[in-house]
Amino acid sequence: MVYPVGRLEFFLHKDSKVGDFVWHDVETTDDLVNFSVVANTAAQLILDTDETPISIGISGSWGTGKSSLVKMIAAALHDADATNDKYVFLEFNAWLYQGYEDARMALLHSVSDVLISEANRRKTLQDKALEFAKRVNWLSVSKLITSAVSSAMIGGALGGPIGALVGATGAMIKEDGSPTAEDIEAMKNAYSALHPQLKELLREKEAKSLPKEINELREAFGELLRELDITLVVFVDDLDRCLPTTAISTLEAMRLLLFLPRTAFVIAADEDMIRSAVRAHFATGLSDDLVTSYFDKLIQVPLRVPRLGVTEVKSYLILLLAELAVRKGSINQQRLDSAKEIVLATIRKPWEGGLSRSTLRKAFGEDADKIATEIDLADQLAGLMVSAERIAGNPRLIKRFLNNLIIRDNVAKAQGLTVGFEHLVKMQLFERCASPAAFEYLAKHIANSGDGKAQFLADIEDVLSAGGTPTMPDPCWDTSFIKEWLKLYPKLGDTDLRPLLHLSSDRTMSLASFDELSLEGRELLEALNETRNIHPTLVDRLKILGEAECERILSRIIRNARSNQWETNKLVQALHITKAFPNLGSRLVSYMGEIPPARRSAPFIPHIRDESWAQEMLDNWAMDSQTPQNVRNAINQIERRS
């Protein structure tokens, strides 16, 4: 049964800000979906190992809650070690160092820093902690020189103390050619910063090779942990946000410290993205077995973030909306806390019936009527939030969806638009989850109707009300999501939908003459349909035509590309529009999100490699294991050139 959403008001107090009524998109230890069960299990694995090393991989796609789960594991370990003082914790985010510092050395420096801090806090073994830090610094400088040039060439170019440094590390250096000015300057800076510490080390290490230096670093590390009587727990997050080089660099640094007694690593990453990074980094056509072997050697215990079902999503929605109700003053924090206990206890036992609407009302007790609209909203949306391919129960996407609702509702009020919140919810759900083609079809009919109503919607709703099976007006509407969406309250066929389209700011649709082109626009479209390469003359003519009409031309070109299975030359035609108006690049990216991975084209990559609007899309394609190998190779070649 479908329940009406009613009207959910988000009036702001005169001293309030919109930011007071949204949810921050950051990791949290506040468990709204029962992740604590997995977190406590992972924490117990670390506690039970005693001094045995362990590495745990937390895998899950973007936005599923990996970072939050890592935070919960850390919190559980902190609680368990509150009195024993046996664990030292380090949180390392490789993404922060991308483009600024070698992530491999950044991790080693972070480890040495935390050990120095712990030795100082305990007032013991400070000298050994500093000695370990010196070894890390030495490895940092020797790596810099090793990757640059041969010892003879650098020594000849620099001489003096830098030449002495090079001479001392001759066994560590490969012959890669002459040094660049940047190489020399970087080594001068490194030597200048580290000279006081390295003065003694230079005399000690003249005859040591890099493998021997690494072995001694590991020995010093293990000895320091043993004498401090601590276990170092390192939490590595956001690896799947990194480019392949940074991701692999971090994994290689972990390999230096992994599997030593008194160490534990908790690594959060999308496993598929890391596997793609391994392939991209080594660029030698590694087989699936070799890639799996590389990853499995690093991860002893693989754990996946649990996928949220309808019950968990309903819990997530109601608890988020209840948080908002507390901020608005509708209910108090004590009521939310007691309801949260009941909700989470219920979803731990799905076999007992799950989170029905009546269960949610019982959870909020006497305040159920005060939060009735939120209960209806959670009850109605949960199923679609799970089944819709573009949300698929992803907690981050759900939170962004709700934030967007609140912002749009406040924009509507500020502009004096009369928009029912239940209508806003339904339209935004369609915008987010239906294909661009389906949204475009609806917008076109609304714009051409004269009164903002889509008659075909009213016809479908009449058939559904009579218990019949409607015929969809266009193939792009014949999807399981749209069929379920049409059943949601309220009906939209008799509603002026123009205000709702106006609030769809990311679509930036011109409702006036949505699909009409001027004579010049039609001529340019015909000319573009004949092109296979970029023609600057056409770009100049498009600039004169104006952005609004060029956007409509882009829409026509994409329809043609869609019908022609996303042929490369059709996409090249669309690039004339983005050359004329780069702001429309994001629109083209949105359209290209429809392209099946197997249809992604390697010949198209060079056309967009220098476009700023395309970089995030190219990164995502490169890391997507479903992208054809020749496309990923084309993208990785761009990265190597840059």
**Does residue 98 come out as left (phi exceeding 0), alpha (psi in the -120 to 50 range) or beta?**
beta
Assign residue 488 a region: left if phi > 0, alpha if psi is -120 to 50, beta otherwise?
beta
Place of tokens 């009579």: 466
Q: Give the model confidence (pLDDT) of 265-290 as tens digits.
A: 998 877 777 777 777 767 666 676 77
3-state secondary structure of 20: helix
| Alpha carbons 363 and 336: distance in angstroms, whole number | 9
Q: DSSP states of 120-184 as a string?
A: HHHTS-HHHHHHHHHHHHHHHHHHHHHTT--HHHHHHHH-HHHHHHHHHTGGG-----PPPHHHH
Residue carrying structure tokens 């980094």: 281
Question: Any bridge partners for residue 56, and if so which?
Answer: 266, 301
DSSP type of residue 353 = T
Q: How many beta carbons lie within 10 A of that of residue 199, not counting itself? A: 10
Cis amide bond preceding 490, omega within 30: yes
Q: Cα(27)–Cα(365) distance, rounded to whole angstroms?
A: 30
Closest CA to 54 of 224, 298, 248: 298
Q: List pLDDT tens digits, range 299-355.
A: 888 888 777 788 888 888 888 888 888 888 889 999 999 998 888 888 877 777 778
- Residue 638, token pair as written in the block: 């761009």
Q: Which two tokens stand for residue 546?
A: 């104006």
Is-above-0.75 flag for pTM? no
3 state DSSP class of 234: strand
Residue that has been written with the tokens 């339209």 in this structure? 427
Say whether the peptide bond before residue 179 is cis (omega within 30 degrees of 0): no
pLDDT at position 174 over 50: no
Cα separation, 166 vs 206, in Å, equals 10
**Residue 143: per-residue pLDDT:** 52
Check pLDDT > 70 for residue 402.
Answer: yes
Tell me the two tokens of residue 636.
């990785």
CA dist list (Å): 278 to 29, 157, 246, 427? 31, 36, 11, 41
Percentage of residues of the chain with pLDDT beyond 70: 77
pLDDT band for 115, please (50, 70, 90 cuts).
Answer: very high
Other C-beta atoms closer than 10 Å to the C-beta of 267 total: 24
* Count of Cβ atoms closer than 10 Å to residue 282 Cβ: 14
Rounded-to-integer distance, Cα 628 and Cα 623, Å: 11
